[in-house]
Amino acid sequence: MLHIFISNRSGDVRYGTTGKPVVGYEVELRDEQGKPVADGEVGELYIKGPSAVLMYWSNLDKTRSTFLGEWLKSGDKYVRDAQGYYTYAGRSDDMLKVGGIYVSPFEVEAALIQHEDVLEAAVICKEDDESLVKTKAYVVLKPGKPRTLEEEELLKAFVKDRLAPYKYPRSIEFIDELPKTATGKIQRFKLREWEAQAKL
């Protein structure tokens, strides 16, 4: 979009949110069928405004899937509250769908790192023995903290107390460090690769 189209502004700031749409831009959150979602539900962010680019250079397929008439499909998931503030939930390809409901890995990670024993955490999806998708957390503990079943159950209960029950990680794996890019971004695709290899 080449422009800030949702923003907090002086005198109207809600911490933890991206803010509200900027004048001149329209924003909608839609489900997988392209229908609007209710406040409080996660939806795909669509934007309409004067600064939209025309197309992706030499990439017709990407252009067709992103630019839908005057609307741009951003590839981001957001939630809007009843007051009209938008909160980022994650990239569409990072979102987890558990029991038919979207779960933001960032939300689960944020809950985990509130625990005093946790240094870092990353969350992905994992299929259980019945091919049902559940959340799995990779956790780096602070030095000296035990990597035990008791610690795992403690962290699960900690998240359950802070988030909806279906969001807590059904399994936790303790590791020495998370895979990251040179800029410090967690490489969830590598965690998914580890999970796939573990099944072989």
Rounded distance between C-alpha atoms, residue 162 and residue 167, angstroms? 10
Q: Which residues pair with 86 in a beta bridge?
A: 19, 80
29/4 Cα distance (integer angstroms): 17
- Is the pLDDT assigned to residue 102 strictly greater than 80? no
What is the rounded CA–CA span in Å between residue 42 and residue 95?
10
**Residue-averaged pLDDT of the chain:** 89
Band (pLDDT 50/70/90 cuts) for residue 48 is very high
Q: How confident is the model at residue 89 (pLDDT cuts 50, 70, 90)?
A: confident
Mean pLDDT of the region 185-200: 82
What per-residue confidence (pLDDT) applies to 95?
Answer: 74
Q: With a cut of 80, say whether residue 31 has pLDDT above it.
A: yes
Please, which pLDDT band fits residue 200 given cuts at 50, 70 and 90?
low
Read off the pLDDT of residues 122-173 as tens digits, 9 standing for 90 and up. 998 887 777 677 889 999 999 999 999 999 999 999 999 999 888 899 999 9
Q: Is the pLDDT of residue 11 over 90?
A: yes
Q: Give me the mean pLDDT over the 186-195 stretch.
A: 87
CA atoms of 53 and 99, how far apart (whole Å): 36
